[in-house]
């Protein structure tokens, strides 16, 4: 994918559209300002995921300003932390993130979501709230494929978003993944990201290296046939690497 090319998007239940491929950021592994600028500029990425907990909201906001990409063209996601619960605390935290990101909205949300919610969490939320979350962001990679949760979310009009698509790098040395990658003359990372996208999952790989970001974005000029999709689908081992639950806001 080159700068200016159109990314496939998913339409949410409120009519907003979210790019299917984004860039994840976090406090784990550090933050690279140059990498975010590269993603926005050279690679045409228009979806960036962050959180106050990651400690890089200000730098993400600065990268967006420096990139020259219009704010309206970029989907930004940030997140609440459990200590921000309650209407007043949540609003204050949301507005604080808006200030850090130097944006007028997120706090004035275009979409709301949750992260790491299981089915019972969503059901409890729907009992207590008037608005159903538009997105559920959950760990998703060949070793962790919560298919029942995915089906449940989609049945409720909730888009399914997957983070950690490379299983923190663990899946890149897997012989099954490497065999599929050799077959298509692609990298293991590209195969995993393509597999995730073909499952209809919004996917946010994280990297601080420009070459890796470029590689991760070059997944729209090939597709995996049914037999390879089935092979990767068969790798599920219920191996979770992250154990958190939190709300998030987007736009």
Q: What is the pLDDT of residues 43-73, one digit of tens each?
A: 999 999 999 889 999 999 999 999 999 999 9
Mean of the per-residue pLDDT values for the chain? 91
Report the phi/psi class of residue 185: left, alpha or beta, with left for phi > 0 and alpha for psi in -120 to 50. left
| Residue 82, in any domain of the structure | yes
Q: Find the mean pLDDT for residues 161-168.
A: 96
Q: What phi and psi, each to the nearest 5 degrees, are found at residue 118? A: -90, 175
Q: By three-state DSSP, how is residue 6 classified?
A: coil
Residue 215 lies in domain: 9-250
Assess if residue 228 is contained within a domain.
yes
Q: Is 38 a catalytic residue?
A: no
Q: How large is the average pLDDT for residues 188-214?
A: 97
Q: What percent of the chain has pLDDT over 70?
A: 94
pLDDT value of residue 247: 57
Structure tokens at 85: 């619960």
User: Do the bridges between strand 246-250 and strand 111-115 make them parallel or antiparallel, or are there none, so unpaired?
Assistant: antiparallel
Please tell me the predicted confidence (pLDDT) of residue 3: 44
Number of residues written out for the chain:
251
Kindly report the backbone phi and psi dihedral angles of residue 2, in degrees, each rounded to the nearest multiple of 5, phi listed first.
-110, 165
Q: Could you say which DSSP state residue 249 is in?
A: E
Q: What pLDDT, in 10s, does the model give residues 130-149?
A: 889 999 999 999 999 999 99
| 4 found inside a domain | no
Number of domains in the chain: 1
User: Which of the residues 54, 105, 143, 163 is marked catalytic?
Assistant: 54
The predicted pLDDT at position 19 comes to 97
1 assigned to some structural domain:
no
pLDDT at 2: 46
CB 113 within 8 A of CB 136: yes
CATH number of the CATH domain containing 229: 3.20.20.100
Range 226-248 average pLDDT? 85
Q: Are 196 and 146 in contact (CB under 8 A)?
A: no
In this predicted structure, what is the pLDDT of residue 250? Answer: 55
Distance of alpha carbon 48 from alpha carbon 19, whole angstroms: 10
Residue 151: pLDDT over 90: yes
- Residue 3 lies inside a defined structural domain of this protein: no
- Answer yes or no: is pLDDT of 7 > 90: no
pLDDT, mean of residues 88-116:
89
Q: Which of 248, 59, 211, 6 is nearest to 135 (CA)?
A: 248
Residue with the larger pLDDT of the pair 30 and 60: 60
pLDDT of 249 over the 70 cut: no
């Amino acid at each position: 994918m080159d700068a200016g090319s159109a990314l496939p998007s998913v339409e949410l239940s409120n009519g907003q559209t979210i790019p299917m491929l984004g860039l994840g950021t976090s406090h784990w592994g550090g933050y690279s300002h140059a990498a975010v600028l590269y993603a926005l500029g050279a690679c045409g990425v228009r979806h960036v995921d962050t959180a106050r907990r990651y400690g890089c909201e200000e730098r993400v906001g600065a990268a967006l300003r420096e990139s020259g990409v219009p704010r309206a063209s970029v989907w930004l996601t940030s997140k609440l932390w459990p200590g921000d619960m309650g209407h007043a605390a949540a609003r204050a935290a949301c507005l604080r993130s808006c200030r850090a990101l130097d944006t007028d909205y997120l706090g004035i949300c275009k979409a709301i979501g949750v992260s790491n919610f299981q089915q019972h969490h969503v059901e409890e939320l729907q009992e207590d709230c008037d608005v159903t979350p538009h997105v559920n962001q959950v760990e998703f990679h060949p070793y962790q494929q919560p298919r029942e949760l995915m089906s449940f979310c989609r049945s409720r009009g909730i888009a399914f978003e997957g983070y950690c698509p490379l299983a923190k790098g663990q899946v890149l040395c897997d012989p099954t993944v490497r065999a599929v990658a050799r077959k298509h003359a692609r990298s293991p990372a590209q195969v995993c990201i393509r597999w995730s996208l073909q499952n209809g999952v919004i996917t946010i790989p994280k990297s601080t290296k420009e070459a890796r970001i470029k590689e991760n974005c070059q997944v729209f000029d090939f597709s995996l046939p049914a037999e390879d999709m089935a092979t990767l689908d068969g790798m599920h081992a219920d191996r979770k690497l992250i154990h958190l639950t939190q709300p998030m806001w987007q736009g």
